[in-house]
Amino acid sequence: MHKSLVIVESPAKARTIKRYLGKNYEVEASMGHIKDLPKTVLGIDLEHAFQPSYKIKPEKKDIVKKLRQHAASSDVVFLASDPDREGEAIAWHIAEEIKKPLTHIRRIIFHEITKKAIEEAINAPKELNRALYDAQMARRAMDRIVGYTMSPLLWRKVKRGLSGGRVQSVALKLICLRQEEIETFVSQEYWTIETLLKTRSGETFSARVSDPKEIPDELRAAQIEEQIRNAQQIRITKAKKQRRLKHPLPPFITSTLQQASSGRLKFSAKKTMTIAQQLYEGVPIGGNEITGLITYMRTDSPTISNEALQGLRDFIPSIYGSQYLPEKPRFYKAKKSAQEAHEAIRPTSLANTPELLKPHLNRDQQALYELIWKRFIASQMKSAEFEQTTIDISADEVGLRANGSVMKFEGFLKVYDLPEEGDTLLPENLQEGNVLSLEKLEKKQHFTQPPPRYTEASLIKELEDKGIGRPSTYAPTISTILDRGYVQMDGRALVPTELGRDVNHLLVKHYPNILDIGFTARMEDSLDRIEEGTDAYDSVMTGFYETYSHEHERAKEQMENLRAERRPSGLTCEKCGRDLLIKLGKNGYFLGCSGYPECMNTREYTRDETGRILLKEQKEPEVTEIPCEKCGAPMVLKHGKFGEFLACSNYPACKNTQATTKAEKTERTCDKCGSPLLIKQGRYGPFLACSNYPKCKNILPYPLGLKCPIRTCDGEIVRQRSKRGKIFYACSKKECGFISWTKPIARQCPKCSADFLVRKDSRALCPNPDCDHEEAL
């Protein structure tokens, strides 16, 4: 045994680190978590200190076997997973499974994938951090208990496929509360009066009535207008100039990066984190050399290392001039809960300027890297200086005010501009006592506006301000509530759906403590205390479970069943005059007549900004000349959840339906009757069907025109659907067994000439088990 083994999370990291460490080190990837709680049971022993039952993931058994073999032939194993709670859990699980004495296992931490950082980590290894692992285990246990008990209840009471979560449900609550504020908001009228005033030297500037609250309606606006126009004298009563500094913002942390990326680049939180992961793990620069470009992107600490700070203070005067460098470094204070050992998100090397990297990055990577780079540079530059001028003016009894701002020194704004910062110029010689004349007056009517809906950026800021969740949870939390159909996007705004509001109402009513914002924040604090070693895993879990189990048992007995509930809509049926009820079906909400089954009228609806129900336009089905193959009645064209389809006009006596898409002939023949096969479109996409239908009802999966990557197989790849409705891609020959859950990328493998590649996170892999080719997407 002469080599050391380094275990990281991803193959991209493994290749880069292997190049840095050389031939005496083997570097292998765990491909993320190797163990998890079982899928079919709770996996948390509620009777014995909430101990989790972690099992090796079925798809990771070969990886674990490989890691054990490498560990057995190595003197020392360095666990180099990410420097956070999830990374620590991965390290502990690997340590448990490689069957190596702890005396031969070391934990190494680095926040950037550079040669210097890796070598320093190897030379200063640490012990595994039990407190950090316990903190992750507590979060996982809390989320598992809530998810595996609350979600089935929602399935029974509302509909299948729903979920409740410790953080996701609080995020949904915030969005629903904001929607309620909007709907209950009562708009108030107010007026503004803007004037154009002229000095004796002929210069003009704008001023408006100081307090618009004094102008509640048009009558009062007219009175003030008359007072200004008839004023005996308009004069400056006060002219004040003062110096105002605009300070730079700290370097990015996870939440602020997601917020800025959303506002400036229009990236979702999920997209931002995906691109940041690519920049952290590295991209090819200068041939095939992969270089990590930013520090670790999951952090809540705005601090930077002394080395990075000194490098930045040397960089600023060399590029921008000494006038842009403050005398003393700027130090940004982290929140109490922040992990001080982490750094802010910054470039790994200031030499890697955005301009230099432009040929090596795609458009999105370039945009995000430039944002990170500029924010980091600006964070240690001088403040911008403005001269702020305030002019108070009297028109007899009416007070007017003019504000102006002139930039005297751009400071950090030279690098990181703030779009909201603008200059309003005023004449230089305005002084107290100056007499002015009225050139123009304009009065405008306005109405107060409700608070805006949350965007991803503003929701992340709200969650962070309230202490809910942590850097790694913001993006997946938002993705979950969107995927569940609780929230939908209206432009960039997060709007709760009817389903989301109903689920939120049930959860808030029956889990008042679990969905209490303060309680959720205190649970986050308790996880931090476990990490700090000031609180124990079992005591935190006991306190949480006592609260949760009490509310859950009561919810099981008392929660309303929305499947059976029929709520009045306030609208009447246009066919029979009875009430229309809001009903919940398998495809969502609809309005149904209360006279069902005598009256089978249904209507689709939406809601306006205030929540008022709006009926969707109902089109009469279009009668076609196509006869129903079952009863001969004409087919009619209808619109459903999955688009247009043909339905028998003899419904409900005949319930026959068929696709509207014209079938496309193929050169293939049916293996049952020999007739030509047709390509048809179904609910779940294309498929092959016999042209001799209905005599022959044979159907086959849709082929993609790609050969199976297994060299000994002459099958082809077909698109199929599992029993649960999930699309997958498999070999047409069942005895082959090849399967892929990701859509093939129609690009030939340059190493083994396989017909296609498959996606794995941000990489493209060859599906041939005998080929190890990987490439960046």
Cα distance between residue 233 and residue 228, in whole Å? 9
163-to-148, 176, 312 alpha-carbon distances in Å? 9, 16, 47
The residue assigned the tokens 């044979």 is 698
Hey, how many other C-beta atoms are within 10 angstroms of the C-beta on 2? 7
Q: Is 296 a catalytic residue?
A: yes
Cα distance between residue 186 and residue 258, in whole Å? 33
Dihedral, CA of residue 295, residue 300, residue 301 and residue 305, to nearest 10 = -10
Name the residue among 529, 539, 459, 527 with its Cα closest to residue 493: 459
14 near 111, Cβ under 8 Å?
no
Cα distance between residue 389 and residue 402, in whole Å? 8
Cα distance between residue 505 and residue 484, in whole Å? 16
Cα distance between residue 528 and residue 520, in whole Å? 13
Residues β-bridged to residue 729: 719, 740
Name the residue among 28, 33, 29 with its Cα closest to residue 92: 33
Name the residue among 209, 197, 205 with its Cα closest to residue 399: 209
Checking DSSP bridges between strand 702-707 and strand 699-700, what pairing results, if any? unpaired
93-to-63, 99, 149, 371 alpha-carbon distances in Å? 13, 11, 26, 36
Which tokens go with 163? 């979920």
Q: Is 584 helix (H, G, I), strand (E, B) or coil?
A: strand
Cα distance between residue 386 and residue 377, in whole Å? 21
Strand blocks (E) in 531-684:
567-572, 579-585, 588-593, 602-603, 605-607, 613-615, 622-627, 634-640, 643-648, 657-659, 664-669, 676-682
Residues β-bridged to residue 736: none
DSSP 765: E
Amino acid identity of residue 303, one-letter, is T
Strand order in the sheet with 622-627: 622-627, 634-640, 643-648, 657-659
Q: Let me know how many helices (H) and strands (E) the chain has, helices first.
A: 17, 39
Cα distance between residue 521 and residue 711, in whole Å? 55
Cα distance between residue 634 and residue 637, in whole Å? 10
81: left (phi over 0), alpha (psi -120 to 50) or beta: beta
353 near 415, Cβ under 8 Å?
no
Name the residue among 96, 125, 98 with its Cα closest to residue 110: 125
Checking DSSP bridges between strand 189-198 and strand 384-395, what pairing results, if any? unpaired
* Selected catalytic residue, list 25, 54, 190, 296: 296
431 near 239, Cβ under 8 Å?
yes
- Residues taking part in catalysis: 296
